[in-house]
Each structure stands twice: as structure tokens, then as C-alpha cells.
């Protein structure tokens, strides 16, 4: 068999160097191995806050084993041996020499709280990144039986992670992420375009129902022409003007929707083929818009969390702004699909002990009763 060639020195340059947090973790673990009593100064992190299995196992061993006697610890390595034995149960490749390396690379053991804060910040970024990635995957899953409910539950889970991080890293006013916002993903046409055409045509044929779908906004529609035609319909309905394909076409011309070369005959045909219920097509359009909004918000948060230059403060601010977009369309979805609250009947005013005895008194009581209805 041909011998496997040894890697050249140039090949070693292709190995990705460890991230800064790796060196921070080494410094923290070295401080705790050298001065185990400093574990009491460390807060906000756990074993799963570390980036490697070896570091995770070492911190778990350090934080669970009883601390050694300070004097005895300076005279022998008994406690270090116990830590190594416990950590090896989960990270078999650990060696005693690596523990000594950790101690040597720690600049100042008294800086352990600062190192822990850095580890916590990096772990927070990864928590948000993981939750955002899961949200995006859920928003793109077309096999879900109840996509809106499932996606909103994932958005709530992401929001809970952000709130937890904010409790440890309160956001500072005006501190925004430096990361560029990713461009919106183009929405897929096909079925969406056809359903929007049914929406517009049905609204044109039954304009009285436009008032019942006030929760639908032009931005919910995928095509600019469709969004503009919906604006025309809602404007005509608001002005209580006549609505039919011709009046909508005229309103579209006044708004410049035909300046792109759209054929008026195509617009007339589009508006003249109603089908089904306006509420149904409106909910379908809003659901598609909600899923697209969640996907885009998740992508923005993913970009923020994927940029190590962003501090936890910036990450919280950016994530909350994106989650606000989800909250806004969630409110409209609840308006569209939730039960209509019934008004409580107003309680009748208390009656007097006896009926009025004069005509003037009877008239005054009647006016008062009407005023309270």
C-alpha cells in the first residue's frame, strides 16, 4: 500500500484557528484549577456554556467535586488528579498535561469573574443563534398541520431566550447591532398569486365584506400590483364610492399602478373572476404573510447572533426589534381568526322606590334612561 504522505507545513495553515472564546475558556479553567476557591466568584455559566466537550467536562468536574484544602492544594496534585479522573468519564482524551497547560495560560486567576462573563456572553450568542435557526426551519416547514400555531410557539421560545439574556445583559439605549440586515427572501408565486387574484376579485364583487378584513394590509400581498389594487379597494370602500372592476381600474390609474406597462384589460379580467369567501382568501393571504414575516425576522436575528462582533446588549436590542414585527402580525392574525368578543350588556340604572307622579318627571326619566343605553 502506498504510504500516506505527511502534511506539509502549508497544510497546517488551513486548519481553522480556535475562536477567542476558546482562549477565554482556557484562562477561566486555568484560574479555577489553580485557585478552586474562585469558583464562588463565578456566576451565570454552567457546564454547557463551554464550546468544547473537554472544557465542558472539566468545568462540570470542578463545579461538582468538593474543593480542596487551600494549603494542601499548593503542596500536591491530589485534587487535580480527581478532577482529571472525573472529567475523563465524559472526555476520554483529556490528559494531565492539558490541565497544566490551562494553568500556565491563565494570565491572572483573580480575573476569573471577567472570564466567566465573557464565556456567558458567547454562550448567550449561541443560544440565540440556535433558537433563530430552529425558528427559520419551522417557518419553512410545509408539512406542519398547523403552521401558524407551531411557528408562533417557536417565536415565543426564541423570545424567552432573548428575555433571559436581557435579564443578565440589560440592553442599553441606542446600542444597535452593527450587522447588515439580510435582504428579504423573494416570496414564491404560483399558488399565492392565484389566491390573491381570487381575493381581489371577490372583494370587488362583494365590497361590503372589505370592512370585515381590515386586518389585511397591502404588504401582506406578494405582488406590487396586487398590493396596489388592495389599496385601491380599501380606499374606495373607505370613501363609500362605487366599486366594480372599472372603478378599481380608474383608481389604479390615479395611483400610478399602470405606469409599469400593465395592460388595463388584464386588470379588468383579474377583478372580474370572484370565487369563494373574502374572509377565506384574506386569512390565506395573511397566513402566508405571517410565515414570511417570521422567516425574515428569524433571518435577521440569525445574522445578528452569527456576528461575534455584536455584544449581548446589541443582540437583545436587535432581536427584540425583529420579534416586534412578529408580534404585530400575530395581533392581526388573532383579529382575523379569534372569536369576536361580545359586548357586555350595560346594567340598567337603579330604579327609584316609586314611579314618577308628574308628566315632566316621566319625560325626564325617559330621557335619562335613553342616555344610559
CATH number of residue 86's parent domain: 1.10.860
362 found inside a domain: no
Whether residue 54 contacts residue 82, with contact meaning beta carbons closer than 8 Å, is answered with no
- 97, 133, 122: which is closest to 18 by C-alpha? 122
Please report the pLDDT score of residue 287 as a whole number.
Answer: 96
**Which cell is 61 given?**
468536574
- In the structure grid, which three cell numbers stand for residue 54, read together? 473537554
Q: Write down which residue in 107, 128, 153 finishes a domain.
A: 107
Whether 255 and 311 map to the same domain: the answer is: yes
Q: What is the pLDDT of residue 12?
A: 40
Give the integer Cα–Cα distance in Å for 213 and 196.
14
Q: Number of structural domains, the chain?
A: 2
The overall average pLDDT reported for the chain is: 87
**SS3 at position 240:** coil
In whole angstroms, what separates CA 197 from the centre of its chain? 31
- High-pLDDT (> 70) share of the chain, %: 85
As a whole number of angstroms, the distance between CA 165 and CA 316 comes to 7
In a shared domain, residues 89 and 219: no
Residue 358 lies in a domain: no
100 and 26 co-located in one domain: yes
Do 28 and 140 lie in one domain? The reply is no
For 228-275, the pLDDT digits (tens) are: 999 999 999 999 999 999 999 999 999 999 988 889 999 999 999 999
Domain end marker among 51, 75, 107: 107
Domain assignment of residue 91, yes or no: yes
Can you tell me the mean pLDDT for 2-17? 50
Whole-angstrom distance, CA of residue 148 vs CA of residue 290: 8
- Both 75 and 203 in one domain: the answer is no
Asked if residues 38 and 109 have their Cβ atoms less than 8 Å apart, the reply is: yes
Burial class of residue 13 (count of CB atoms within 10 Å of its CB; 0-12, 13-18, 19+): exposed
> pLDDT class for 340, splitting at 50, 70, 90?
very low
Q: CA nearest 285: which of 332, 234, 339, 341?
A: 332
CATH at 147: 1.10.860.10
Q: Which residues contact 172 (CB under 8 A, 6 or more apart)?
A: 313, 317
Stretch 216-238: mean pLDDT, rounded?
96
Question: Which of 250, 253, 162, 238 shows the shortest CA–CA distance to 207?
Answer: 238
Whether 318 and 171 map to the same domain: the answer is yes
Indicate if 41 and 124 belong to the same structural domain. Answer: no
Domain ranges, residue 33: 18-107
Output the pLDDT for position 186: 74
Say if 149 falls within a structural domain.
Answer: yes
User: How confident is the model at residue 174, as a pLDDT?
Assistant: 63
pLDDT digit string, tens, across residues 82-128: 999 999 999 999 999 999 999 999 999 999 999 999 999 999 999 99
Does 163 score more than 50 pLDDT? yes
Residue 339's pLDDT is: 57
Q: Are residues 99 and 235 in the same domain?
A: no
Q: Give domain status of residue 351, yes or no.
A: no
- Domain end point (choices 81, 107, 133): 107
Are 87 and 127 found together in one domain? no
Q: Which band of pLDDT confidence, cut at 50, 70 and 90, is reported for residue 365?
A: very low
Question: Is residue 1 one of the residues assigned to a domain?
Answer: no
pLDDT(352) > 90: no
Residue 327 included in any domain: yes
The backbone torsions φ and ψ at residue 189, rounded to the nearest 5 degrees and listed phi first, read -85, -130
What are the cell numbers at 14?
A: 488551513
Q: Are residues 145 and 82 in the same domain?
A: no
**302 occurs within a structural domain:** yes
pLDDT at 8 over 70: no
Report the Cα 341 to chain-centroid distance in Å: 29
Sign of the C-alpha dihedral computed for residues 366, 368, 370 and 373 taken in this order: negative
Give the pLDDT score at 10: 45
Is there a single domain that holds both residue 171 and residue 278?
yes
- The region of weakest confidence among 33-47, 70-84, 124-138, 185-199 is 185-199
The three grid cell numbers given for residue 197, joined into one nine-digit string: 387574484
Interval 181-209: pLDDT, tens:
888 877 666 889 999 999 999 999 999 99
Q: Which residue has the cell 316621566?
A: 362
Judge if 71 and 141 occupy the same domain: no
Amino acid at each position: 500500500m502506498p504510504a500516506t504522505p505527511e502534511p506539509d507545513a502549508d497544510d497546517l495553515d488551513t486548519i481553522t484557528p480556535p475562536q477567542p472564546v476558546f482562549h477565554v475558556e482556557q484562562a477561566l479553567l486555568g484560574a479555577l484549577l489553580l485557585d478552586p476557591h474562585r469558583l464562588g466568584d463565578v456566576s451565570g455559566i454552567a457546564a454547557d456554556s463551554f464550546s468544547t466537550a473537554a472544557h465542558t467536562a472539566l468545568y462540570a468536574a470542578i463545579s461538582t467535586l468538593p474543593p480542596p484544602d487551600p494549603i494542601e492544594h499548593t503542596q500536591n496534585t491530589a485534587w487535580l488528579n480527581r478532577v482529571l479522573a472525573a472529567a475523563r468519564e465524559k472526555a476520554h482524551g483529556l490528559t494531565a498535561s492539558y490541565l497544566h497547560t490551562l494553568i500556565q495560560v491563565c494570565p491572572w486567576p483573580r480575573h476569573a469573574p471577567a472570564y466567566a462573563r465573557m464565556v456567558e456572553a458567547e454562550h448567550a450568542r449561541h443560544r440565540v443563534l440556535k433558537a433563530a435557526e430552529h425558528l427559520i426551519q419551522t417557518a419553512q416547514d410545509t408539512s406542519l398541520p398547523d403552521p401558524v400555531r407551531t411557528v408562533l410557539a417557536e417565536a415565543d421560545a426564541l423570545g424567552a431566550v432573548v428575555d433571559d439574556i436581557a435579564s443578565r445583559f440589560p440592553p442599553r439605549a441606542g446600542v444597535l447591532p452593527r450587522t447588515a440586515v439580510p435582504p428579504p427572501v423573494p416570496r414564491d408565486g404560483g399558488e399565492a398569486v392565484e389566491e390573491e387574484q381570487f381575493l381581489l376579485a371577490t372583494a370587488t364583487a362583494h365590497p361590503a365584506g372589505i370592512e370585515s378584513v381590515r386586518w389585511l394590509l397591502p404588504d401582506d400581498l406578494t405582488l406590487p400590483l396586487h398590493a396596489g389594487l388592495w389599496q385601491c379597494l380599501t380606499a374606495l370602500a373607505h370613501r363609500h364610492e362605487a366599486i366594480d372592476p372599472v372603478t378599481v381600474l380608474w383608481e389604479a390609474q390615479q395611483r400610478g399602478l399602470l405606469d409599469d406597462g400593465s395592460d388595463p384589460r388584464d386588470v379588468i379580467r383579474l377583478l372580474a373572476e370572484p370565487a369563494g369567501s373574502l374572509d377565506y382568501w384574506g386569512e390565506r393571504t395573511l397566513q402566508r404573510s405571517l410565515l414570511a414575516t417570521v422567516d425574515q425576522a428569524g433571518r435577521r436575528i440569525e445574522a445578528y447572533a452569527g456576528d461575534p462582533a455584536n455584544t449581548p446588549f446589541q443582540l437583545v436590542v436587535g432581536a427584540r426589534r425583529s420579534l416586534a414585527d412578529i408580534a404585530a402580525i400575530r395581533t392581526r392574525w388573532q383579529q382575523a381568526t379569534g372569536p369576536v368578543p361580545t359586548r357586555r350588556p350595560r346594567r340598567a340604572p337603579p330604579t327609584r322606590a316609586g314611579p314618577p307622579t308628574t308628566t315632566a318627571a316621566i319625560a325626564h326619566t325617559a330621557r335619562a334612561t335613553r342616555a344610559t343605553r
